Amino acid sequence: MDDDDIPSGPEMEALEAELPSLARIRRFAVAAERVDWFAHVGEHPGPRTMDMAEHYVDALGFPDARVALVTDWAEAAAAAETLDFDSSAWEAEEQLRSALTMDALELMSEDALQVALTHVAATITDPIKTSAEEALAIWDEPTDEMLDLAVGSAVQACHQAVLVLAAGAEEDHPFALRFRLFEGGRWPIGVAGLSFNLF
């Protein structure tokens, strides 16, 4: 590397400004690898989990939605598939995602954000898949379509959590709450109508 390759002036200042966010995201990726993904699906949730689930739907903009407990993988897969037909919840998440992305890009470059998102996805996808396979095996359920739905949902939650970190958003942001439900071994499937399906 010669002197021309070393960032200086405004370029170096921009790089230094991004480092705290990138360090937080790296720590998140390491922690996410150790999450017991799907370890408590189907179990009756305790008061803390229920409070968090209710806080999530309220923060998402659906205060009238009620937590609907999903009891098995087949029901979970069916609930996940119906999310495509509920545009209001999808639109709410898209608005949040867009706002976080804009906030994040005020703190870091687009390239840095993309690198962070790619790094997290590459780090956590295999551990999530392994955990989902183990959970499905315990329930003696087929693994193809259900596996894809569960893994995709968890990876999306990590993507959203990275945006929360990159944007410096509050810990009670809906995406942060959704990730914490996953972190507790649940599958927060999503809002459909006036129900928030939680497995």
Tokens of 98: 């867009």
Q: What is the mean pLDDT of the chain?
A: 89
The pLDDT of residue 121 is 95
3 state SS of 102: helix
Average pLDDT over residues 95-121: 94
Question: What's the whole-model pTM score?
Answer: 0.88
**Band of the pLDDT at 6, cuts 50, 70, 90?**
very low
- What number is the average pLDDT over the span 141-151? 87
Please report the pLDDT score of residue 142 as a whole number: 72
DSSP state of 43: S
- Is the pLDDT score of 3 beyond 50? no
- Which three-class secondary structure state does DSSP give residue 58? helix
Q: Residue 12 — pLDDT band, cuts 50, 70, 90?
A: very low
Q: How high is the pLDDT of residue 143? A: 75
pLDDT of residue 92: 93
Domain spans in the chain, listed from the N-terminal domain onward: 21-198
Question: What one-character-per-residue DSSP string does 9-25 give?
Answer: HHHHHHHHHHHHHHHHH
Give the Cα separation of 69 and 54 in Å (integer). Answer: 12
